[in-house]
Structures are given as C-alpha cells and as structure tokens.
Amino acid sequence: MTPIAAEQLTRAIEERAHWGLPAERSTVASLLESGHDVGTERLGIPMTQEELDALDLPGRMAFAHAVRQSAVPFVNSLPTSGGVYIDQQQNGSLVVLLTEPSAELEAEIAKRMPASSRGFRVARATHTEAQLREALTRAWDTWKTVAPTTPLLGAGLDIMENRILFEVDPVDLEGSRRVLAALGARMGVRVGVAPRAPEESQDTSCTSRDSCYTPTRAGTRIYKGAIDSVNECTMAFHVVSTDGDIEFVTAGHCGYGGSNYWYIKDGTSDGLLLGTEQKTLYSAGGQDIMRVQLPVDQKSHLVYGESRVYGGSGACPVVGQAACASRGTSNIVDCGTVRTTWTSWVSNTANVVVWGGDMDGVASEPGDSGSPIFDRLDADHWGTVGVLNTTGGMFAVLCKAESGLAITGKAY
C-alpha cells in the first residue's frame, strides 16, 4: 500500500464524483493506495479497469456529439428553452430545461434523439437561456454596484441550476452570500455565489512535447522569441483561415508583450520558426485565443497522445459533456466535464476580463496554456472544443471564435 497525500485524495474524490463513481473517502483512499488505479494515467480520472470499462467514456462522448447534431439544435430554437446539459452522474444522459414543458415538446425531442441513446429527461426551468445570457452581460457592472469592495473573480452561466453564478475568493464567500438578494433583484434572474481559488484563474504561460515536427500536432510545446529550456505555451488545433491558409490557435495571453515569434524544437540549436501572431481576441471582453502562422509542411490533423485525428468543430460544447485536454508541459491527456459554456474571469497577464468556458476535472500548469481541448466524434475522429487558458480549466470556446479570428470553424 502506497501512502497518499491529502491533496491528491481530495482531488481524486472530486474527480470521481463528477462521473457518478463511488466517492466515499475510504473507498477512494483504498483505490489509490492499492495501486489498482489505471484511469489517472489514461484519462486523468482515478478508477479501476472495471470502472474504466463500465464508464465507457468514448460512448458518452459519441452520444453527446450525436445529440448536439440532432436534438440540441431543436431545443435551442424553442423560445422556452432553458438550455441543455449532459448528466454524467446518470450515465451521460441528456437533460433538457424548458420554462413551459409539455408532452408535445417532449415527443418532438424524442423524435430527434439518436438511435444509440443514453436517454433524456425534461425538467422545468424558471428562466430561458436567452434571459440568462442577457442578464450575464450586466453581471460585472451589477457586482460593482452591489459589492464594490469585494473582488469578483468570475461570472458565468450556470445552466444546470438555471442561474447566473458569481465566483469569489473563498474568504469572501460568506459576505457575498449576504448580497445575493440585492444581486438577484438588480439582475432580474436567479443568482448564486460560489468559491473560486484565485490561482485557478492564473494564466498558465510564461515560465520555464518536444521533437514533434514535420508535421506538428495539437499539444506540441511552443517557444516564444527563441528556443530555451522552458516552453511558454502549447499549440492547439490547426485551423483554416477564411483566406484558405492553414494556421494554428493557442491562448491569446501567450502573445501579450514581448516577442511574438513562435518556435518549436526540431533538433537544431535555433529551432524551427513557425511564424508570428496573425489575429487575436485577447482584449477586454474578448476570448483568450489567437491565431499564429504555420509552415505548409507542419500542418496536420493530429493531437499529441491520441491515435484519432480531429475532424471538425463537432458543434459548440454543452454543459456536462466529457472532453479531454492534451496538456503540453504536463505531457498528459487529462479528461473532465464542461462545467459551463460561457463564463468570465480576470486574465492576470493583461489584467482584463475575458470570456470562455470552464472544465471540471482538468487542471494545468505553467506552459499548458493553449493546450487543445477536444471530444470524441466517432471511432476515428476527435472534435475541437476549445483552447485551455488557466490553471483551473477555463478555456476559449473555439466555435465562438470563428468570426473574430476569421477562421472557417472547421479544423484542418
């Protein structure tokens, strides 16, 4: 039996709870100490081989992809839609939120469910997703009015709870709960507050998977200005610009300040110059993502650590779906679930509020910024989800960056 650290045990408990796996402290401790954990190395989720087989993460991803193509567009078109999410604690099934559910609508949704289904249910919501999104545009200004002396670390959509969620430092949590009534009155929708450790919003570049060239892959370590001992960031997906050029995306804060020439190691002392930043959305109110030049012979459909190729955007992500990050500096594939598809935080590199999604169960360390987040489209292909930004799993949502970055939305 191998002793385990308290922090490792706590994280393992949280990871397993996300997936509906037994998460009692004694059970998880026994798993980690026994050496029977095969899931952490493969997917970043502590579990036995039996649990790994039963969880069927590829099957859950395939179902989420199928419903995003069939049922979800119909639900999103409904004026009474409160959004959808994947319930990973209930075998990865679909949950549809409606302000006015009916047997007729449920039947219409059922018609659009994929043949290979993990099931769905309809639940009543107080607000439509459109109402929540409108309110979210006022979240930061409203917070400054109601709680001017308490730093706000983030504000975003909480589809599962049908509300706007404000996030603060744990030390400010109790005081922030006392202003929820005032916040709700001004916002006009349900609101909540939750803790966010300040370090979870820290950009993960700018500190100290090499030998990955001709062609490169999403997940390759990239270097700013010159080759040295520490990669600043990680390459994400290769994308098609509207002018037809193939380039790659990475975190926008990686290009903030200093040289914006990007290199990879190729066995030479100077490395291989990829090119320079071509377009960025990294500014106040934007997303933390940029587009960088890529030599013709370096383009590929590959993700480091995966045998499948990526084959398109796979549609925008939905709350609760499974997704994985190929983390460059950490040199692992780390899987989790999408906590929210639209939230905000303060990017410490330029001290600006940026927008994107957030993952549960996916962390990162310095140099992982820009790592690709992807999901399973089918047995042979992965789909693009986003670009990792912070230590706590916040990410730029690729499908929402198409127009701003002048890309087609379909990966090369």
d(CA 102, CA 79): 13
- Sorted by where each begins, the domain ranges of the chain are 6-55, 58-124, 129-196, 200-412
| Cis bond upstream, residue 215 (ω within 30) | yes
pLDDT at 327 (0 to 100): 92
Residue with tokens 């998977």: 209
Mean pLDDT of 191-210: 68
> 129-196: what CATH class?
alpha beta
- Residue 204 pLDDT exceeds 90: no
CA-wise closest residue to 385 among 404, 365, 369, 401:
401
Higher-pLDDT residue of 372, 310: 372
Fold topology of 200-412: Thrombin, subunit H (2.40.10)
Mean pLDDT of 4-19: 86
Is 200:391 a contact under the CB 8 Å cutoff?
yes
CA-wise closest residue to 200 among 405, 8, 388:
388
pLDDT at 208 (0 to 100): 27
Instruction: Give percent of the chain with pLDDT exceeding 70.
Output: 95
- Residue 44 pLDDT exceeds 50: yes
- Residue 131 pLDDT exceeds 80: yes
Mean pLDDT of 383-397: 94
**Any idea which of 3-12, 52-61, 207-216 has the lowest mean pLDDT?**
207-216
Confidence of residue 116 (pLDDT cuts 50, 70, 90): confident
Indicate the DSSP class of residue 390: B
Answer whether 129-196 and 200-412 agree in fold.
no
pLDDT at 43 (0 to 100): 84
Higher-pLDDT residue of 151, 205: 151
Q: What's the pLDDT tens digit per position in 56-73?
A: 998 999 899 999 989 999
Is 330:222 a contact under the CB 8 Å cutoff?
no
Mean pLDDT of 311-327: 85
Helix, strand, coil percent content, the chain, rounded in steps of 5 = 30, 30, 40
Mean pLDDT of 256-278: 90
Confidence of residue 100 (pLDDT cuts 50, 70, 90): very high
Residue with tokens 């009543």: 124
Confidence of residue 257 (pLDDT cuts 50, 70, 90): confident
Q: What's the pLDDT tens digit per position in 215-230?
A: 899 999 999 999 988 8
Q: Which residues contact 144 (CB under 8 A, 6 or more apart)?
A: 152
Confidence of residue 201 (pLDDT cuts 50, 70, 90): low
Mean pLDDT of 269-282: 94
Confidence of residue 55 (pLDDT cuts 50, 70, 90): very high
SS3 of residue 9 by DSSP: helix
